[in-house]
Structure 1
Amino acid sequence: MGIEDLVNQGKDFLEQNKDKIGEALKSDQAEQISDNVLDAAADFVKKVAPEGAHEQIDGVRDNIDKSIGTE
């Protein structure tokens, strides 16, 4: 089985389960996990980015957060 076969299996799985995946992404559990991951990622980037970029980093974090979970 090659990479192409694996990719096609992944596509088939996503197509067959897109409703369940959509529901999972809009769950309370997804919200909690995504908040933790996004906060950690934003904090890390802020440590290496200039202070003037912190507001933009927070904006990006907030936009991503809107796509995952319940809030």
Structure 2
Amino acid sequence: MSITGPYWHAGHDAEVVLDKVFALSAIVEKETGLTAYDPQSERPPADGQPEAATGLMSRITEDLRSLHGG
């Protein structure tokens, strides 16, 4: 299973999206007994820092926006 969020969210919007992604991954872990893995942070989401994930998504979004002039 894969959970993805598009890179068009920054700041508070990124925080909202990632909160939902992390909550969903926690439910999947609980129901399946499997461990989620975030390939971008190279660790399970439960081990991560939400602020770090939000910052990463925000920076990537801003970088993509600057590349596409918007």
Same fold (TM over 0.5): no
User: Which of the two has greater helix per residue?
Assistant: 1
TM-score by length of 1: 0.40
Q: Which has the larger radius of gyration?
A: 1
